[in-house]
Structure formats: C-alpha cells, structure tokens
Amino acid sequence: MGNKIMKDQVEDFIHYLHVERGLANNTIQSYRRDLNQYLAYIRDAEKVTHWQDVSRTMITKYLYNLKDEGKAPATLARQTASIRSFHQFLLRENIVNHDPSHHVGVPKAERRLPKVLSLSEVEALLSSPEANTPIGLRDQAMLETLYATGIRVSELMGLNIEDIHLTMGFLRCMGKGSKERIIPLGRMALKAMKQYIEEGRPKLLRNKQQEALFLNHHGNRLTRQGFWKILKQLSLNAGITKSITPHTLRHSFATHLLENGADLRSVQEMLGHADISTTQIYTHVTKQRLKEIYTNYHPRA
C-alpha cells in the first residue's frame, strides 16, 4: 500500500510542475523519469515505504551509485535537482516534516591525473629549439625554466627582466593571490637563461624600452597563447605524440621531483599551492607510474 502512495505522490508533484509551474513537456518527462528511477531505488534497495523515512545517506548512496554506473556529470546534476525539488514539494505539502535532500551535493567527478612526460620525452623537448637563433635561445630558456622551476605558464609570461638574478641563481615570481615566491634555477636553466638574456633578448628587443623578460619577434611581451603555439610546434619537432598542454612541464616537474624522493611540502611550496591537497594529486601519479613499472618489469607481475 505504501509503495502505491509513494508513487501517487510522485505523480502529484508532476501534476504540480505541469499546472502550477507550467514547465515544458520534455522537462516534465525528465522529472518523471528521474523520480521513478529514484523511487525504485528507495523502495527496492532501501525498503522504504514512506517518504518520511528517507534519509540524506540514502540519497547520497543513490547518487553515488549513478556515478559508479558512469552517468555523465550533467545527468547527476539533473537527478540531484529533481530529487531536491521533489523533497521540497513534500515538505511544503506537509507530507513529511523534514527535507533529507538539504545540503546533498552532486557527486564530484574524480580528478583526472595530469599527463606527464617521461625523462626521455623531456630531454627531446628541451633539445628541440634551434639554439643558434634569438627565437631558439628564448624558447630554450622558457622550456628549461618551466621544467626547472614548475612555475605556471602565466607566471613565466609575467616575468620581468628584474625578476631574474643570474649571480644568485634564482627567479622571483608572483603567483596566485599576489603571493611572491623565490625559486632556484637549476644549472641547465641558469645557463639557458644567461645565454638568452645576453645574446637572444637584445636582438628581439629592437632597441625598445621593455621590462618583459620573454619577448615575441616584435619586441613585445610574449603571450600565453603565443607560448602555446610555440610549445605545440616544438613538441612536434621533438616527435612527442602525447597531447600536451602548457601545464605539462609543470606536472612533469612535480612528478619527477616526487619520484626522486622530494617531500610533498617542498613540492607544494615550489608549485605555489595554497593547500597541500592540491599537490597530493601528484602522489597518485607517482603511484600509478610505479604500478606500471612493476607490471612491465617484474617477472611474476
């Protein structure tokens, strides 16, 4: 008897959407499908016979079941909205005395592991610029700096000539929230930077007054979009088949540091992450890579 009442109350809500809210027929049918599916779960899996007995935990479990079935984020968001609207309707109609859907959120999509380059791919990419031209010297310095420091491309493009301290071997970078970081430059990055500043940049500058460190062929500050085009061409030249983004060298920097024993807090500081939970994604990358290495090379894997 309870199951029929629950079903009738779903239909009462659908009627309310049609008559009082005046929603389009397609929208109403979406609500009906969502809620009938939800009702079937509550009735069959949770053995509930009255909407009053539905708990927040039940709703959360239902939504995570949908996520585990591979439902798209948009579908999960729509299902969540349908369930919330329905429970608010039940509360307004005094059918229940609480709303278990209150504060129920859409299940978060799993964070995708960032793509990283292998050491041999990094070597190929860093060797791809033509080192005997001003543009090549600039590109070499940019790539070496990104891989040596892990700074964001936007931070790289924002560097001014005064931010580079060749004698001390570090750069000063303004990150998110105007937070300043002092980051050491490795031996190879320092060498590439010195050569660019002394031999490449003056030729690109064309006697202009310009504070930007990295310049385009007009002598103006290179943009993020300009760097993206350069990176795509250099990765093609290097024979890299992976789809890489301007963040790939940053991801590779963090992953290779952790793989070689760096501690998470140090990597967090170098990356400029406000919260260490953001940096922890790289521990998943290193674990995944270790698993691949084990599977490929252990004789009994």
Active site residue 250: yes
Query: Looking only at Cα atoms, what is the longest distance across the chain?
Result: 87
- Whether the CB-CB separation of 141 and 195 falls below 8 Å is answered with yes
Q: Give me the catalytic one of 31, 38, 196, 282.
A: 282
User: Residue 203: which residues within 8 A CB-CB, separation 6 or more?
Assistant: 134
Cβ atoms within 10 A of the Cβ of 210, count?
A: 16
Q: Can you tell me the distance from the alpha carbon of 155 to that of 167, in angstroms, rounded to the nearest whole number?
A: 21
Q: Give me the catalytic one of 67, 78, 87, 273.
A: 273
Active site residue 194: no
Active site residue 152: yes
Q: Give me the catalytic one of 15, 176, 224, 287.
A: 176
Region for 295 from its dihedrals, namely left if φ exceeds 0, alpha if ψ lies in -120 to 50, beta otherwise: alpha
Please count the helices (runs of H) and the strands (runs of E) in the chain. Answer: 14, 3
Whole-Å CA distances, 193 to 6, 164, 252, 263? 71, 9, 20, 27
Q: Can you tell me the distance from the alpha carbon of 160 to that of 284, in angstroms, rounded to the nearest whole number?
A: 35
Q: Specify which residues 160 forms β-bridges with.
A: 212
Active site residue 297: no
Active site residue 176: yes
Q: Can you tell me the distance from the alpha carbon of 148 to that of 96, in angstroms, rounded to the nearest whole number?
A: 60
Q: Give me the catalytic one of 87, 250, 251, 256.
A: 250
Q: Give me the catalytic one of 87, 152, 201, 251.
A: 152
DSSP conformation letters of 145-180:
HHHHH---HHHHHT-BGGGEETTTTEEEEE-GGG-E
Q: Give me the catalytic one of 7, 71, 247, 289.
A: 247
Q: Can you tell me the distance from the alpha carbon of 49 to that of 123, in angstroms, rounded to the nearest whole number?
A: 64
Q: Which amino acid is at 269?
A: E
The residues assigned a catalytic role are 152, 176, 247, 250, 273, 282
